[in-house]
Structure 1
Amino acid sequence: MSSSIQASPVGVFDSGVGGLSVLQELRRELPHENFVYLADTGNAPYGERGDAFVKQRTLTIARHLLQEHRIKALVVACNTATTAAVAELRAALPDLPVIGVEPALKPAASSSQTHRVGVIATRGTVNSARFEQLRQAFSDGTDFRVQACDGLARAIERSVEEDPDAGPSFKEIRELCERYTRALGSFGVRTGDIDTLVLGCTHYVFVKDELRRLLGPDVHIIDTGAPIARQTRRILVQRDTLANEDSDKAPAGRLHLYTTGPLSALQAAAERWLQLGPGHCSALPA
């Protein structure tokens, strides 16, 4: 494989800043890869949009990343976009390796001791045919309690430019987390309790501390960032497009972030969660 393709970036996109939680894990797993991230914040949240809109945006963004950045693979770091559009995306761009994210129902079912698992996700994800297929596939012996969390991803997006402990969106996040976890039922390790919570939206990783406060130390909280990063590595190795990892020669990977929404919000999120300066971020038309 030519060195130019190995040096090409991996594309990552989400409806907003939630996919930065996946990007964190990708950078840990693949420190020598170049990445380009696109937050479609100007059209967020996808979880409250229809499938046709999400499919159109997903394909438009994938083509943009191919044409403008010559990406060698695409990580769809959005559960809603994966469930709504990943099949059509693979059909439309068959030469582009596409890695999607889906709620981690299989590992949750395998690890739960009480056989009762909570799932929180956007309404677009929980109402999708793909989610129902996943639920049916792993429901033998496991009781999945599912809750659509309207407004939570949007509140997390708004919170990035506020005081992380005292801003108005932080108060809303706390209230929404409390409301939605309470709606699922009793959490704990006793018979009948929910002992595992699946984060079915990449945004929710950024409120894991709040969820932990509500659920206590014994509940297992599962997200998909690290498994997706490992799957991305496997695909790059299979296609012989992995960046050079020779410790004597390989530089650290480069990273640039784009947004179709307010540039200041992406810059704040990049600084808070990735420790990146504003020069790593640029704005695009919505």
Structure 2
Amino acid sequence: MNSRPIGVFDSGVGGLSVLGALRAELPAEDFIYLADAGFAPYGERGDSYVIERTRTVVQRLVQEDRVKALVIACNTATAAAIHLVRAEYPQLPLVGVEPALKPAVALSKTRRVGVIGTRGTLASAKVRTLHDSLKDQAEFVFQPCDGLADAIQNDDTAQIATLCARYIEVLGPFGTQSGQIDTLVLGCTHYPFAQHVLQALVGETVQLIETGEPIARQTRRLLEAGMLLKNEGMGSVTLLTTGEPGQLRSAAARWLSL
């Protein structure tokens, strides 16, 4: 079991941001990254569509690729389907992602937090429950960013800049003064790849939070608990996609030097 790979799944290339953190935390492990790009984007689809695709991808990774653990590196898929995956594969170590609202509360000084994500993620019951548990501790301003994940997926620099500027303007004002947003949660795994654009728009004093490193640490904890950790050697990465292979290879080379 220890020599089996860890599966990492996203609707597209965004989960590569999580894969980078996983490789840094677990350098000896082998990873299979599957981008369901042929059926993306997920974020503007209904739950039934996302659940069906998630089940299909997970079944493939478990039955064909025989992964020993699975990271659902997609906020939308986590919100819609992780509870079903847990029920269907109770023995599988499973890690999902959710917008980092709790860490944002801990860091914010103005108690005003911006959250950007896909429409599906921000409208999900999972995020509503998380928000309800924290709303007395800070004011959250949610902004769905239609089209941004797709623009990052397609490496459309002009569109990324246009959409980031549009959504940040709606969210603002940003800063460290009372009433300003001083912490911005990147609620989609695609968004860290636009972090430099977002940081320039909100200013250097605003903290941007994403979830790659906490996910990697949780994955390590689950592997250790199950005695599944691989400690020796240098791990490998296998890239799979239901879409255009060249797009995934190009993104992996650009962002992870793979």
Q: Partners in 1 of 2:182 and 2:256 — Cα distance?
A: 30
Say which SS state the counterpart of residue 25 (structure 1) adopts: helix
Larger Rg: 1
| Unpaired segments ≥5 residues, structure 2 | none
Q: Counterparts in 2 of 1:100-119, with a 5 A limit? A: 100-119=96-115
* Residue 258 in structure 1 maps to residue 240 in structure 2: yes
Other structure's SS at 1:176 match = helix
- What SS does structure 1 have at the residue aligned with 2:113? strand
Compute the TM-score of the two structures, normalised by the length of structure 2. 0.99
1:164-199 deviation digits (Å, cap 9, x = unpaired): xxxxx2111111001101111200000110000000
AA at the equivalent of 1:178: A
The 3-state SS of whatever aligns with 2:227 is coil
Q: Does 1:148 align with 2:124?
A: no
> Equivalent residue for 2:198?
211
Output the CA distance in 2 between the equivalents of 1:97 and 1:53.
Answer: 24
Cα shift at 1:270:
1.1
Residue correspondence of structure 1 range 115-130 to structure 2 within 5 A = 115-130=111-126
Tell me, yes or no, if structure 1 residue 198 matches structure 2 residue 198.
no
Partner residue of 1:139 out of 135, 139, 144: 135
- Is residue 164 of structure 2 the alignment partner of residue 177 of structure 1? yes
After superposition, give the CA deviation of every residue in 1:143-180 in whole Å (9 maximum; x if it has no partner): 00000000000001111xxxxxxxxx211111100110
In structure 1, give the amino acid aligned to 2:159.
E
Q: What is the number of residues matched between the two proteins?
A: 258
The alpha carbon displacement at 1:141 in A equals 2.6
* Cα distance in 1, alignment partners of residues 127 and 62 from structure 2: 28
Percent same amino acid among aligned pairs? Answer: 55
Is 2:16 the counterpart of 1:20? Answer: yes
Give TM-score scaled by structure 1 length.
0.89
Deviations along 1:210-255, one digit per CA (max 9) or x if unpaired, are 0011011100000000000000000000000000x2xxxx210111
- Aligned partners of 1:36 and 1:267: how far apart in 2? 13
Matches within 5 A, 1:226-265: 226-243=213-230, 245=231, 250-265=232-247
Cα deviations by residue, 1:9-38 (Å, 9 ceiling, x for unpaired): 000000000000000000000000010000
SS at match of 2:190: helix
Q: Find the counterpart in structure 1 of residue 26 from structure 2.
A: 30
Within 2, Cα distance between the matches of 1:158 and 1:78? 17
- The answer for the alignment partner of 1:94 in structure 2 is 90
Report SS of the residue matched to 2:184. Answer: strand
Counterpart-to-counterpart distance in 2, 1:219 and 1:15: 29
RMSD between aligned alpha carbons?
0.6
Partner SS state of residue 48, structure 1: coil
CA distance in 1, matches of 2:108, 2:52: 37
Give runs of ≥4 in structure 1 deviating > 6 Å: none
